[in-house]
Structure 1
Amino acid sequence: MKKSPLWAGILSPPIALGGIGAAIIINRSWWRLTDNAISDLGKVGLPYNWVMNVPLFISAVLAIYYAEGLFRELKNPISKLGIGVFILGLAFLAGIAVFPEGTEPHYHVSWGFFLAGGVGYLIAGTGLWLEGQRKFGAFTVLLFIAEVLLARWAFKTFNGVAIAEFTGVFAMIIWHYALLWEKFFAEKS
């Protein structure tokens, strides 16, 4: 893979998390991890909603660029399918920024991001397992199970959905960096 998609893949998560973190700081007078959704930080009519929405959009574009390069690198059709579904999830991430909370499509693009992102990495990891990358495949399945169990617990325990959302976000980010390391850096060490 060329260096520019690799750099896009490396930089995408910190850009999104930086925007979310800055939005939390700006809105700390009312936003609570246990009582809100992440999307509350970018909702229509909120002053400075762009602080979260612009980095989310940039992050999604960078991640799609990286994942498209990854798609071309993979040989197994199951892995390719998984990355294709993951790319769809990233397109939904861009949709969260374009259709913030308070717009009709927001609910659908938000769920689309979490569902396609999680299912996409699960399918891709399964494909890599079938290619012989057993440890990475097992890691993927365990990460997905942990994500689902923790998110379900958070949905039942807290008034807001931010903890469940962060569970999904961090699972995708952990998987992304683990795959990045496995495919492009571990082989060179």
Structure 2
Amino acid sequence: MVNGKQIFQGRLLNLFLKRQKFPNGYIGTLEIIKHPGAVLIVPFLSDDKIILIKQYRPVINAYIWELPAGTLNKGEDPLKCARRELIEEIGYDAGILEKIGYIYSAPGYTTEKIIIYKAKKLIKVKAKKEVDEVITPKVFTRKAIQKLINSGKIVDAKTICAIKLVIK
């Protein structure tokens, strides 16, 4: 929970101003974006094959490669959200969803916590894409994904973190 003065309430995000005393005694005003949290899924078709999505991101006006991910609905179980996002974005359900860990996307200004899952034993289903998502899934080998990261072709931070956690 973020204490402070709410200065904006949006559909997804809320912005707060908060006076904060730091451990060293400094008192400052923070701008904090309260976020409901998210999930990110590393979907394995086999031990060596992972599905990435090429997604249009209107904020940066570009298509980027990333892993399936999505924001938690209010009160939604993260595991159910992960399953929903797999179906929506790549048209697969998972026989096994294993929680790998979590990351904070930008802890200097947002509460967004992203829970990372590994999906195995994928089952093909009909994709249920949302109207505001322009997505094309594609299968890559682990080695090809590493090359995409190393060459700067994957620039999504959460995707890079998850790949580094899962592919050791």
Q: Mark yes or no: TM-score above 0.5.
A: no
Indicate the structure (1 or 2) with the bigger Cα radius of gyration: 2
